[in-house]
Amino acid sequence: QVQLVESGGGLVQPGGSLRLSCAASGIAVSTNTMGWYRQAPGKQRELVASKTSGGTTNYADFVKGRFTISRGNAKNTVYLEMNSLKPEDTAVYYCYADRSWGTLWGQGTQVTVSS
């Protein structure tokens, strides 16, 4: 079964850190462009970060210097390390993979930044 399963979300105080994980099955993270989007209540889904099969990374301006995308090929997992979190980072974070037929999405994981 081809699927992406996110984990690692939760409640964190401003300035804190979280690491999101996206475990892939049925596809190899090393040979696909994969990344993270997020969607806050009442807002459109927006790209956070991506990583190509060749290793090129891309970050939204609002996370540059704070978030890092990486992948663990042995565990077939994509990670999003999030530091210096702000209340405006509160959203559901979705892992995705670009496929020849379209985009494969995970179910999402909630990140809430609040004191």
pLDDT tens figures, 47-90: 999 999 999 999 999 999 999 999 998 999 999 999 999 999 99
* Residue 107, token pair as written in the block: 């179910």
Q: What pLDDT is attached to residue 97?
A: 97
In 3-state terms, what secondary structure has residue 97?
strand
Please check whether residue 70 is in contact with residue 29, taking contact to mean a CB–CB distance below 8 angstroms: no
CB within 8 A of 113, min separation 6: which ones? Answer: 12, 13, 14, 16, 85, 86, 87, 88, 89, 90
Please check whether residue 29 is in contact with residue 21, taking contact to mean a CB–CB distance below 8 angstroms: no
* Residue 95, token pair as written in the block: 């892992």
pLDDT tens figures, 100-114: 999 999 999 999 999
**Is 37 exposed, middle or buried (CB count within 10 Å of its CB: 0-12, 13-18, 19+)?**
buried
Q: What pLDDT is attached to residue 54?
A: 94
Q: What pLDDT is attached to residue 66?
A: 98
